[in-house]
Amino acid sequence: MPRYPLKTAARHGLWSCHGCSLLCRLPAAAQQAAWHCPRCGAALHPRKPHSLQYAWAFLIAAVICYIPANLMPIMLTEMLSGTQRDTIMSGVVYLWQGGSWPLALVVFIASVLVPLLKILSMLLLLLTVHWRSRWAPRQRTRLYRLLEVVGPWSMLDIYVVGLLVALVQLQSLATIKAGPGAIAFGAVVVLTMLSAMHFDPRLIWDVFEDDDE
């Protein structure tokens, strides 16, 4: 098992402001007193306050919303022949059967696979920190950075539905409305992003300092 005999910046009295990212040097007695950022005035903390609690809450809410996001219709198409209700998977199947398999793969990856992998990745990060695991800290830190990068790009279905609604309404060909699945899908994306935002990746490394003391 690799050893990382490094002291964290917080142990050396260096705290990063969560408001403006200013790095502040504080005295050793800062743990017992309230300190504020000299630039923006925000309260300073060695780690994000209640980071794990907020991250867990948003992740559990995202898991709950993931089910209706995939089972309920994401788009309602009203035509003279009737109303068609499409879920994410029915749209993928329709594109695949219509010969547009590259687009079907893009929609499946962006709308089904990426949100699921984001949820599983956040679950892995939270559980390993909760259990104070020393397993692969560098890889877990890189995984967290990757989550922050891909987060906004999993909104593909919402963008597509919005574009279709605008185009079809302008041409008066039919009426397209966003279904309840679109709301749940948007909630999944936002909630996973909030969970990642509140998670403090420095908690991954704290276990090494605590165990070396």
**For 69-90, what is each residue's pLDDT tens digit?**
888 887 777 777 777 787 888 8
> What secondary structure letter does DSSP report for 65?
H
* Low pLDDT (below 70) residues in the chain: 1-7, 28-33, 151-174, 176, 210-213
| 3-state secondary structure at position 7 | coil
**For 83-117, what is each residue's pLDDT tens digit?**
778 788 887 887 788 777 887 787 788 778 888 99
Between CA 9 and CA 15 the distance in angstroms is 7
Between CA 18 and CA 25 the distance in angstroms is 14
Q: Cα-Cα-Cα-Cα dihedral of 17, 23, 24, 25, to 10°?
A: 140
Predicted model pTM: 0.79
The answer to whether the CB of 183 falls within 8 A of the CB of 65 is: no
What is the reported pLDDT for 164? 56
Query: Strands (DSSP E) along the chain, which ranges?
Result: 14-16, 23-25, 75-79, 82-86, 175-178
Please name the residue that has the structure tokens 């923006």. 40
| 3-state secondary structure at position 28 | helix
What is the reported pLDDT for 125? 95
What is the reported pLDDT for 199? 93
What is the reported pLDDT for 122? 94
Between CA 162 and CA 93 the distance in angstroms is 20
Percentage of the chain lying above the pLDDT 90 cut: 20
What is the reported pLDDT for 144? 92
